[in-house]
Every structure is written in structure tokens, then in C-alpha cells.
Structure 1
Amino acid sequence: MANKKYPDELKDRAVRLVLAARDEPGGRRGACARVAQQLGLSPDSLRKWVAQAEIDRGVRPGTTTDDATRLAELEREVRELRRANAILKSASAFFAAELAPPRSDSRLHRHQQARIRGRADLQGTAGRPVELLRSA
């Protein structure tokens, strides 16, 4: 069955008719079905409209239409903000890596050192045998 979008005026009128029919003596039972048949509506849809109208008026406990609308807006805003945060985090990580100065003391990527040519090129070699220095 296809979903029909009924105008708000029709919904309000149907709810008023059901509430008026319930106030009549003996009219409580089957009021939704009678009004739905008169207006050519689905009885289940009309029951939902009446229940929501009672919630909005404070007669029945539940989430009001205004609260449900506000909740949906806030959930949409949270989704958008989370998405924006994820984009900003990835962008900041990208630019932080790009703008970081190269580290000269990095232990992972050492610059190639010049070849050792003799004792004078080594630090702290005084008094050590030459054979030990050549094996290193």
C-alpha cells in the first residue's frame, strides 16, 4: 500500500471529529472506524493521529510532536558535526605531517657518514691497538 500524505487540515478535522464522537454517549467504541469510513481514511492512520494529538495535549504520556521534531534536528546536527570533525582531523593530520620540519637527529634515517681513513678521524682512539680499529 502506498503512503499517502494527507493535508494537516484534514488530519486536524478528523481528530476533532473522533474526539467529539468519543464524548457522545455510547460513541467511545468504534469512533475512529466510523469517522475514518466517513472521510475515506485508513482507521489505523486515524488512530495514530488521535493518539499523537492526545500526547501533544498532555492527555497521554509520550513524545510530543515538537519534541520529536527537535530531536530529529539535533540528531541531524550531530551527524553533520561528527562528519565535519572527521574531515578536520584528517586534514590537520595531513597538514601537520606536511609542515613538520625534517629532523636531523632522526635515528631511523641517518645521513651516510664519511669513510674512516685513519686514527685521526676516530674519536677516543688514543691508546687502542690498530688491529681493533680495523675490525670495526
Structure 2
Amino acid sequence: MPRSQPPYTEEFRRQMVELVRAGQSPKALAKKYGPSGPSIRTWVRQAEQEEGVRADELIAAERDELKRLRKENRQLREEREILRKATVFFAAETDQK
């Protein structure tokens, strides 16, 4: 289902984060500019993560690397399983001769 409005630009999000850091509440900004309060709080949290202020969550680069490593790990496990089955097959074939 299409969105009713296009997503907010990065510049707009940065401005909202700066306004929150300057002391304005997300709720007041939501009434004045349109995005919801929880969205603004999410943008602030994401900005803190990217800047390293919040150490409790992964930054985008770490999430991307983790996703890539999990995919690579899954592929390697599948390849290992294929090789194991091939070894069993050829060992059984060799024993028959």
C-alpha cells in the first residue's frame, strides 16, 4: 500500500534531532511540523547510535556487517554439508569396487 506522503528527508530529520537536543520536546515538534512524536524520538535515538553516544545498540555499519557475516556463515554451512554428503557418497562408491 503506498504511503500517504513521501518519507521525510535526511535534512529534515537532522533538523528535528537538533531541535530536540536544543530542548524542544518531540511532542511539541510533532504538532508543529507533522511527524509523530515517536518518529522524532526514533530519529534522535538513531542519531545517537550513529554518533556512538548510545553504546547499547549497533550502528548501521555494524548491522550491515553482521547481516553480511550471517549470510556468509549460512552459505559456508551449506557448502560444508554438500561436501560432507559428497564424501559419504564417494566413500560408499569406492568401497563397492
- TM-score of the two chains, using structure 2 as the length reference: 0.72
- 2:18 matched to which residue of 1? 20
Q: Following TM superposition, by how much is the alpha carbon of 1:55 offset from its aligned partner in structure 2, in angstroms?
A: 1.2
Q: Following TM superposition, by how much is the alpha carbon of 1:23 offset from its aligned partner in structure 2, in angstroms?
A: 4.4
Secondary structure of residue in 2 paired with 1:100: helix
User: For structure 1, which runs of at least 5 residues remain unmatched after alignment?
Assistant: 103-136
Higher relative CO (CA 8 A, sep ≥ 6), structure 1 or 2?
Answer: 2
For the residues of structure 2 that align with 1:38 and 1:96, how far apart are their CA atoms? 73
Higher helix share: 2
User: For structure 2, which runs of at least 5 residues remain unmatched after alignment?
Assistant: none
Task: Check whether the contact 1:54–1:60 (CA below 8 A) recurs between aligned residues.
Answer: yes
Q: Verify: 1:71 aligned to 2:66, yes or no.
A: yes
Task: Check whether the contact 1:17–1:35 (CA below 8 A) recurs between aligned residues.
Answer: no
Judged with a 3 Å threshold, the aligned counterparts in structure 2 of structure 1 residues 45 and 16 are, in CA distance, closer, same or farther, namely same
- 1:41 matched to which residue of 2? 35
Higher Rg: 1
For the residues of structure 1 that align with 2:84 and 2:65, how far apart are their CA atoms? 28
Count the aligned residue pairs.
94
Pairing partner for 1:52 from 46, 53, 64: 46
